[in-house]
C-alpha cells in the first residue's frame, strides 16, 4: 500500500489526471518552467503570507547521476576524482536543463590555491578514525568498554583544542587566504550527539552506559558539549569577524534512545550549543533525523527548532503540532522518489500540502536524503504537482 491508495477519491482523480497528461507528453509532466522558477524565487520565506506556491526542495543531487546517465555507481570516485565528477555533472546538467529548467549540479572545479588547510574535527579530538566503506565515510569506534571510555575522556580533557585542531602552516595560510578574501572555516554543523556517541562508542554500549553508569554517560555528554563549544570558539577567533548565527545537527541515531534517555544525553548538548550560537528567535536551530523518532518530538520541541528534516514515518501535521515555528523540509519518502513510484510521489505531495496549507512553513522535499534512482522526469512531475495543486490563496 502506498500513499496513492490512502487518498480520497477526489484526490486520486487529480493524480490520475496529471499522470495521464504526463504520459501523453512522452513522460514529461506539463509545466510552465519560467513561471515555476519565478514563483520558487519569490517563496524564500516558507511562512510568507504572500508566496504563490509551496517552496520546492526535492531538487536532485550529484548522487543521482548514475541511473540517469546509465553509469555504474562509484561513490568513492565521485568524491575523489574531480575531473570525472565534473564530466558527469556537465552531461547531467545538459540533460537536466530542458527537463527542469536549471543546471542543478555544480560544474566548477575547485581552486587548491583558495582552499583552507584541513582543520581537525570533533571526531579527531575523540580519536575516532573516519574511514571510507562502500559508499560513504564511517567513524570507527575509539572506545569499547567503560574503562576505555574513561581513559579516552581523560586524554580528551588533557588536550589543548586549539593547538590540536589547527594544522601546521595555519598562520601562513591564514594571512594568504585572508588577503584573497576567502571565507575562513567555521564550525556550525555536527553529527548529532547520539549519532556521534554511538559512532565512537557503539550503539548498544551507549544505551547500556546511560542505563547502568549514568555518571560516566553524563561525563561523556558534558565533554562532547565542551569540546564542541571550544572548537567553535577557536575557529570564530581565527576568523576575526562577527560569528554567524545558527547550528545544524544530523542525528539519525537519536531514535535509538527513549525520551528519558534522550532528555538526559542528547537534549543538553543541543540546548547548550543553541544557547551559544542560536539564541534569538530568528536564528537557525536545525535538526535532521531521517529515522522514526516521533517519540522525541516533545523533547525536541523545547528547543524551539526553526529548521527540521525528519523521517518519512512522521507527518507534517504531527511535526507542526509540536513545532509551530519550524520550517518543515519533507515529508516525501526518499524511496518513493528513488523508485520512481509516480502516483505515490504526487499523492505524498497532496497529503503534505493539505496538512501544511493552513499554517504554511513547508518546503516540500524528501524526508531524508535524495538517492540515486530519483529521476529528472520525476523531479519535473513533482514540480508540476506543486504548480498545479500547491498554490496558496
Grid cell at residue 245:
548565527
Q: pLDDT at position 241, please?
A: 87
For the segment 316-335, what is each residue's pLDDT rounded down to a tens digit?
999 999 999 999 999 999 99
* Angle, vertex CA 124, rays to CA 120 and CA 130, nearest 5: 100
- Residue 206 burial (CB < 10 Å; 0-12/13-18/19+)? buried
- In sequence order, the 6+-apart residues with CB closer than 8 A to the CB of 374 are 58, 60, 64, 334, 337, 338, 340
HSE (side-chain half, CA atoms, 13 Å) at 35: 10
Structural contact between residues 265 and 193, judged by C-beta atoms closer than 8 angstroms: yes
Q: pLDDT at position 132, please?
A: 86
Structural contact between residues 317 and 297, judged by C-beta atoms closer than 8 angstroms: no
Distances 168 to 171, 173, 233, 244 between C-alpha atoms, Å: 8, 9, 19, 26
- Band of residue 382 on the pLDDT scale cut at 50, 70, 90: very high
Q: pLDDT at position 135, please?
A: 78
- Pairwise CA distance, residues 189 & 218, whole Å: 22
pTM of the model: 0.95
Express as a percent the part of the chain with pLDDT over 90: 95
For the segment 109-154, what is each residue's pLDDT rounded down to a tens digit?
999 999 999 999 999 999 999 998 877 888 999 999 999 999 999 9
For the segment 38-54, what is each residue's pLDDT rounded down to a tens digit?
999 999 999 999 999 99
- In sequence order, the 6+-apart residues with CB closer than 8 A to the CB of 210 are 217, 257, 261, 264, 265
DSSP 209-226: HHHH-HHHHHHHHHHHHH
Amino acid at each position: 500500500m502506498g500513499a496513492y491508495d490512502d487518498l480520497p477519491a477526489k484526490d486520486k482523480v487529480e493524480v490520475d489526471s496529471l499522470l495521464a497528461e504526463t504520459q501523453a507528453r512522452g513522460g514529461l509532466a506539463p509545466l510552465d518552467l519560467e513561471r515555476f522558477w519565478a514563483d520558487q524565487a519569490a517563496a524564500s520565506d516558507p511562512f510568507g503570507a504572500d508566496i504563490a506556491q509551496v517552496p520546492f526542495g526535492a531538487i536532485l543531487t550529484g548522487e543521482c547521476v548514475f541511473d540517469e546517465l546509465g553509469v555504474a555507481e562509484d561513490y568513492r570516485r565521485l568524491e575523489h576524482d574531480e575531473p570525472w565528477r565534473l564530466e558527469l555533472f556537465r552531461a547531467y546538467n545538459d540533460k537536466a536543463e530542458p527537463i527542469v529548467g536549471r543546471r542543478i549540479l555544480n560544474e566548477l572545479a575547485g581552486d587548491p590555491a583558495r582552499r583552507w588547510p584541513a582543520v581537525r574535527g570533533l571526531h579527531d579530538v575523540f580519536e575516532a578514525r573516519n574511514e571510507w566503506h562502500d559508499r560513504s565515510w564511517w567513524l570507527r569506534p575509539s572506545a569499547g568498554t567503560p574503562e576505555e571510555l574513561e581513559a579516552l575522556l581523560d586524554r580528551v580533557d588533557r588536550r589543548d583544542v586549539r593547538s590540536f585542531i589547527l594544522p601546521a602552516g595555519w598562520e601562513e595560510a591564514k594571512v594568504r587566504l585572508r588577503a584573497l578574501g576567502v571565507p575562513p572555516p567555521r564550525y556550525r554543523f555536527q553529527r548529532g550527539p547520539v549519532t556521534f556517541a554511538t559512532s565512537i562508542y557503539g550503539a548498544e554500549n551507549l544505551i547500556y552506559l546511560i542505563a547502568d553508569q549514568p555518571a560516566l554517560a553524563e561525563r561523556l555528554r558534558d565533554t562532547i558539549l565542551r569540546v564542541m563549544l571550544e572548537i567553535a570558539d577557536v575557529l570564530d577567533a581565527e576568523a576575526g569577524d562577527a560569528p554567524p548565527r545558527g547550528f545544524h545537527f544530523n542525528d539519525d541515531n537519536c531514535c535509538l534512545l527513549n525520551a528519558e534517555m534522550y532528555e538526559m544525553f542528547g537534549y543538553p548538548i543541543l540546548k547548550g550549543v543553541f544557547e551559544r550560537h542560536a539564541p534569538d528567535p530568528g536564528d537557525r536551530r536545525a535538526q535532521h533525523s531521517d529515522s522514526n523518532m516521533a517519540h522525541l518530538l516533545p523533547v525536541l520541541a523545547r528547543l524551539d527548532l526553526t529548521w527540521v528534516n525528519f523521517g518519512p514515518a512522521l507527518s507534517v501535521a504531527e511535526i507542526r503540532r509540536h513545532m509551530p515555528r519550524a520550517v518543515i523540509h519533507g515529508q516525501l519518502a526518499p524511496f518513493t522518489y528513488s523508485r520512481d513510484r509516480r502516483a505515490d510521489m504526487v499523492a505524498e505531495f497532496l497529503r503534505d500540502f493539505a496538512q501544511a496549507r493552513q499554517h504554511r512553513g513547508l518546503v516540500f522535499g524528501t524526508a531524508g536524503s535524495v538517492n540515486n534512482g530519483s529521476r529528472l522526469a520525476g523531479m519535473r512531475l513533482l514540480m508540476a504537482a506543486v504548480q498545479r495543486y500547491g498554490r496558496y490563496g
